[in-house]
Amino acid sequence: MSARKGPIDTQEITDRLNDCPDIDRKKVFIDGKHEAYFIYITEQIDKDILQRDFVSYILKMDLGQLSDKTSVHNIPCCEIHLLYSADDVIKKVLTGNMVFVSDVLPYGISCKNMKEDKRNIEEPISEKNLRGSHEGFIEILDTNLSMLRRRIHSEKLKFKTVTIGTTTRQTVVIAYIEGIANHEIVDVLFDKISRGEIDGAPTIGYIEQLIISHPNSIFPQYMTTERPDKAVGALLEGRILILQEGSPIVLIAPVTFISFFQTVDDYSKMWIHGSF
């Protein structure tokens, strides 16, 4: 970790975490006049413990105390770290820390307290594998986004959010890795979902029919999965995910005919075995 003098640029952090709705930025004020932010991934921290042992102590401290390393290290929260660059801040946030930053402080302050999922995350029955992870997506959208974020610790992982259904008002998220995925395809999918006029989508199949390019084709045009590891593999290949609130099924696009012959274990095998 490099220690440089001067405050961290909070605007740079905001810009780099654009299109990351799973990351919260709560604004507070130091001494009632200096803007500051608590930055964290909602589903990866224990809010009650951090509120008690970290947030409440930070809010009681003035600028002089927050600028004093000794005072900061006396905060009764485990794993207090001082951060001296935007890169350090983003790295800590993406690995499950809550970070406090301000343009008037010479460093950011991070505290780690990971939150355990409250419900069982089990391997999908229809997609068993031998050498990979044994967990699957569930019906809680925030938890599904958190599973992706735990595997890809990069601000390049982006989530575009859209609300569909004039009656149900459900949340749909388009996930992609900036710089790898084709942004034109991302925009096309976002526009198609945004313009879709339906009362609601009980299953993600409704969305698939809404955005399908060739409705008369007998071949599937989107791949589905319940596995986070398969979804991450698709993201790293430049593909795009579509996740829906209330559904453990994720759509993958774009795909080719040969994509449907690939199994989860192919990612864990030597290329010659997987190809065979």
Say whether both 94 and 150 belong to one domain. Answer: no
Rg (alpha carbons) of the chain, rounded to whole number: 21
Q: What is the largest CA-CA distance in the chain?
A: 68
Length of the chain, in residues: 276
The reported pLDDT for the residue numbered 71 is: 92
**Shortest CA distance to 148 belongs to which of 70, 91, 228, 92?**
228
- CB of 207 closer than 8 Å to CB of 221: no
Compute the distance between CA of residue 255 and CA of residue 77 in angstroms, rounded to an integer: 46
> With the CA atoms of 231, 174, 146 and 75 taken in that order, what torsion angle do they form, in degrees rounded to the nearest 10?
140
Say whether both 268 and 145 belong to one domain. Answer: yes
Say whether both 194 and 102 belong to one domain. Answer: no
The reported pLDDT for the residue numbered 238 is: 95
Label residue 203 left, alpha or beta by phi (over 0 means left) and psi (-120 to 50 means alpha). beta
Quick one: which H or E segment has residue 235? helix 228-236
Say whether both 103 and 211 belong to one domain. Answer: no
Examine residue 130 and state whether it is found in any structural domain, yes or no.
no
How many Å separate Cα 28 from the centre of its chain?
23
- CB of 102 closer than 8 Å to CB of 30: yes
Compute the distance between CA of residue 196 and CA of residue 165 in angstroms, rounded to an integer: 8
Say whether both 70 and 19 belong to one domain. Answer: yes
Compute the distance between CA of residue 199 and CA of residue 135 in angstroms, rounded to an integer: 32
Examine residue 2 and state whether it is found in any structural domain, yes or no.
no
For strand 97-102 and strand 34-41, is the pairing parallel, antiparallel, or unpaired? antiparallel
> In b/e form, how buried is each residue of 75-112, taking b as 16+ CB within 10 angstroms?
bebeebbbbbbbbbbbbbbbebbbbbbbeebbbbbbbb
Say whether both 104 and 150 belong to one domain. Answer: no
3-state secondary structure of 173: strand
Quick one: which H or E segment has residue 15? helix 10-16
- Residue where a domain stops, chosen among 112, 127, 160: 112
Q: Residue 248's domain spans which residues?
A: 141-275
Say whether both 85 and 160 belong to one domain. Answer: no
**Shortest CA distance to 67 belongs to which of 27, 9, 106?**
106
Say whether both 175 and 212 belong to one domain. Answer: yes
- CB of 96 closer than 8 Å to CB of 44: yes
Examine residue 239 and state whether it is found in any structural domain, yes or no.
yes
Structurally, the chain folds into a number of domains equal to 2
Say whether both 243 and 155 belong to one domain. Answer: yes
Say whether both 173 and 102 belong to one domain. Answer: no
Compute the distance between CA of residue 103 and CA of residue 6 in angstroms, rounded to an integer: 9
Examine residue 127 and state whether it is found in any structural domain, yes or no.
no
Compute the distance between CA of residue 105 and CA of residue 109 in angstroms, rounded to an integer: 9
The pTM (predicted TM-score) of the whole model is 0.77
pLDDT in tens, the chain (276 residues): 444 456 899 999 999 999 999 999 999 999 999 999 999 998 888 888 899 999 999 999 999 999 999 999 999 887 899 999 999 999 999 988 999 999 999 999 999 887 655 556 666 666 666 566 778 898 889 889 999 998 999 999 999 999 998 888 889 999 999 999 999 999 999 999 998 888 888 888 889 888 888 777 777 788 999 999 899 999 999 999 999 998 999 999 998 767 667 776 666 667 676 666
Examine residue 120 and state whether it is found in any structural domain, yes or no.
no
Say whether both 74 and 170 belong to one domain. Answer: no
3-state secondary structure of 186: helix
